[in-house]
């Protein structure tokens, strides 16, 4: 056994736990994802719209459960719509049994989750490695393939559906394959690819010099040869290999070569872009090819280094006990039963008003909504609570006739901005979200001052719907000013405005005023 392996395992035993690094190999069809890298930094949100987020969520289903949250370190990043036949990442996992996860079991749990949730991702391999192996920095090369098809007859638009996902449809049949193939040699060797990289928004200094190890153009076969539509095209693969690539480099190089094959530019144009590297030197006649034809074929490592860093089966922990095997079987049965249940969606809202839909353990962010009840029906009713104190929704606030009828001189808006104001009315505001997590006590203190100072001139309290926030403020005022219990104050307001329904968090805080000493002098 290599000394690095021995030291790594010994340190884990001394600390009473085993946190093991695993090299994951996985493939995916990138059509439905925003890209490989996770887009949401909040650990509470499982970003299953990215491949990384979906993989991390799938690893949460592995049994025994990891004591630390899985966070992938990616070897290669692909854009939205790009596919991969063999991408890699590493992750650290640790479990209460102090055992190293079995590769077959990990793949079983993860791929079951992907299949159940409709993800086009598959975990191909899970290899325990020592901590000196890094999925990104240990990589020796990456190989990309770009697939496109050329029609045999002019204006042929009918394509096989699988090709639409994986193949760029070149609409012109007059394409010079030999010229594009010769053009690949212009990129070979060590060159500055600034012109062929998209400008990234980052403070990190980027090294634009790269060395291509291979760049070829070869004829390929249709994905569905038995589909009659496949016979109307010829199929081609650009294959490009290097230790690393810049952002959008492959798609821009292929775009330049396709434009060359179509006669839109010359070899000299490509040479100038390479010899004068600049983001401003990109030839506007070239369009980067779309992402659907791009596939990450493989991430290559030094076989000797990988073999040295792999924790072999005979070096893993002792076999699982009968109790652990029973727990594993129960967990598998539980997940099988869960997969047979009907899907159930839950919508949650955070304190900032962001909404998330939860299904099968996946959290998907919905379009941002307002953090209060939106009531589009007109509600012009003004309720008289006590002399001088009125309660309503926001609708009467913009109706001058109603305000004059009740001789309203002051309006207190709870969490709502009024679009139309009148000269003979004084306006007051208090910010408050209609969420159980919102602290209503500071708002109560502020509003009581406003209400008590203007009660003799008739003050109207309102929020959006007049259901939760403004009734809660009025109830609090009655409890403090009139020494009523919560139930007495609630019933008083309820009789005047039957639709009130303070949220559970407000009710709990209002009852705390009743049960504790709320120091406030009017």
Q: What CATH number did the domain enclosing 423 receive? A: 3.90.190.10
Radius of gyration of the chain (CA): 32
Domain limit, last residue, from 245, 272, 293: 293
Predicted confidence at residue 147, as pLDDT, reads 95
Domain limit, last residue, from 83, 100, 129: 129
Where do the H-state alpha helices sit in 220-263?
Answer: 249-261
Is 389 in the same domain as 424?
yes
Predicted confidence at residue 55, as pLDDT, reads 93
H or E segment and range at residue 128: strand 121-129
Sign of CA dihedral 449, 455, 456, 459: positive
pTM, full prediction: 0.60
Chain centre distance of CA 96:
29
CA distance 454 to 305: 79
256 found inside a domain: yes
437 found inside a domain: yes
Q: Phi first, then psi: what are they for 128, rounded to 5°?
A: -70, 130
Is 203 in the same domain as 177?
yes
What are the E-state strand segments in 344-455? Answer: 346-349, 355-359, 362-365, 383-386, 389-392, 410-414, 426-430
Domain limit, last residue, from 293, 322, 341: 293
In DSSP notation, 248-314 reads THHHHHHHHHHHHHTTSS-HHHHHHHHHS--GGG--TT--PPPGGGEEEEEEEE-HHHHHHHB--GG
Q: What CATH number did the domain enclosing 59 receive? A: 3.30.70.580
Is 163 in the same domain as 121?
no
Q: What CATH number did the domain enclosing 261 receive? A: 3.30.70.660
Catalytic residues: 463
Is 245 in the same domain as 177?
yes
Is 254 in the same domain as 391?
no
363 found inside a domain: no
Q: Are 196 and 225 in contact (CB under 8 A)?
A: no
Is 33 in the same domain as 120?
yes
Full pLDDT tens readout for the chain, 522 residues:
344 444 444 445 445 557 889 999 999 999 888 888 887 665 555 667 889 989 999 999 888 888 888 899 999 888 888 999 999 999 999 888 778 888 998 999 999 998 888 899 999 999 999 999 999 999 999 999 999 999 988 777 788 888 889 999 988 888 999 999 999 999 998 999 999 988 776 667 888 899 999 999 999 999 988 988 888 899 999 999 999 999 899 999 999 999 999 999 999 999 999 999 988 889 989 999 999 999 999 999 999 999 999 987 544 444 555 665 666 566 666 655 555 555 566 666 665 566 767 665 566 666 554 444 444 457 888 999 999 999 999 888 988 888 999 999 999 999 888 878 888 999 999 999 888 888 998 999 899 999 989 999 999 999 988 999 999 999 999 998 888 999 999 999 999 999 899 999 999 999 888 765 554 554
Is 466 in the same domain as 499?
yes
Is 79 in the same domain as 155?
no
Q: Two tokens at 415?
A: 């969490």
Is 70 in the same domain as 180?
no
Is 43 in the same domain as 122?
yes
Is 108 in the same domain as 162?
no
Q: Two tokens at 381?
A: 């009713």
**Under DSSP, is residue 226 helix (H, G, I), strand (E, B) or coil?**
coil
Is 156 in the same domain as 60?
no
388 found inside a domain: yes
Number of domains in the chain: 3
94 found inside a domain: yes
366 found inside a domain: no
315 found inside a domain: no
Q: Which domain holds residue 81?
A: 3-129
Burial class (CB in 10 A: 0-12, 13-18, 19+), 58: buried
Q: Is the peptide bond before 319 cis (omega within 30 degrees of 0)?
A: no
27 found inside a domain: yes
């Amino acid at each position: 056994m290599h000394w690095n392996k021995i030291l790594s395992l010994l340190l884990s035993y001394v600390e009473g736990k085993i946190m093991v690094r695993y090299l994951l190999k996985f493939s995916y069809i990138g059509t439905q994802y925003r890209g490989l890298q996770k887009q949401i930094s909040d650990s509470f949100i499982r970003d299953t719209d990215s491949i990384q987020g979906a993989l991390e969520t799938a690893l949460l289903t592995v049994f025994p459960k990891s004591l630390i949250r899985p966070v992938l370190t990616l070897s290669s990043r692909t854009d939205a719509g790009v596919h991969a036949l063999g991408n890699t990442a590493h992750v650290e996992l640790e479990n209460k049994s102090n055992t190293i996860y079995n590769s077959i079991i990990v793949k079983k749990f993860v791929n079951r989750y992907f299949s159940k949730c409709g993800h086009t991702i598959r975990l191909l391999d899970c290899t325990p490695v020592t901590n000196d192996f890094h999925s990104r920095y240990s990589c020796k090369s990456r190989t990309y393939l770009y697939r496109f098809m050329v029609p045999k007859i002019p204006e042929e638009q009918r394509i096989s559906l699988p090709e639409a996902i994986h193949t760029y449809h070149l609409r012109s049949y007059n394409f010079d394959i030999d010229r594009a193939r010769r053009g690949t040699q212009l990129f070979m060797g060590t060159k500055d690819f600034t012109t062929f990289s998209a400008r990234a928004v980052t403070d990190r200094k980027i090294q634009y010099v790269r060395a291509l190890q291979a760049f070829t153009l070869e004829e390929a076969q249709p994905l569905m040869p038995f589909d009659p539509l496949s016979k109307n095209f010829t199929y081609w693969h650009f294959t490009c290999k290097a230790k690393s690539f810049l952002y959008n480099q492959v798609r821009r190089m292929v775009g330049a070569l396709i434009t060359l094959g179509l006669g839109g530019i010359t070899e000299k144009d490509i040479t100038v872009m390479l010899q004068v590297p600049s983001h401003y030197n990109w030839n506007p006649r070239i369009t980067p090819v779309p992402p659907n034809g791009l596939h990450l074929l493989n991430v290559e490592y030094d076989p000797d280094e990988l073999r040295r860093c792999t924790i072999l089966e005979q070096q893993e922990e002792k076999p699982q006990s009968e109790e652990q095997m029973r727990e594993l079987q129960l967990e598998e049965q539980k997940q099988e039963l869960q997969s047979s249940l009907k899907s159930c969606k839950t919508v949650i809202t955070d304190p900032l008003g962001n909404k998330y839909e939860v299904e099968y353990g996946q959290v998907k962010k919905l379009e941002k909504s307002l953090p209060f009840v939106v009531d589009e029906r007109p509600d012009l009713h003004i309720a008289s609570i006590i002399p001088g104190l009125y309660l309503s929704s926001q609708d009467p606030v913009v109706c001058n006739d109603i305000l004059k009828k009740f001789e309203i001189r002051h309006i207190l808006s709870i969490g709502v901005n009024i679009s139309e104001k009148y000269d003979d009315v004084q306006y007051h505001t208090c910010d408050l979200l209609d969420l159980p997590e919102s602290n209503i006590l500071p708002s109560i203190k502020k509003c009581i001052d406003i209400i008590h100072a203007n009660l003799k001139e008739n003050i109207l309290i309102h929020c959006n719907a007049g259901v939760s926030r403004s009734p809660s403020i009025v109830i609090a005022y009655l409890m403090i000013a009139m020494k009523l219990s919560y139930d007495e104050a609630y019933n008083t307001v309820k009789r005047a405005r039957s639709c009130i329904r303070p949220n559970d968090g407000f009710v709990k805080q209002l009852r705390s005023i009743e049960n504790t000493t709320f120091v406030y002098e009017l």
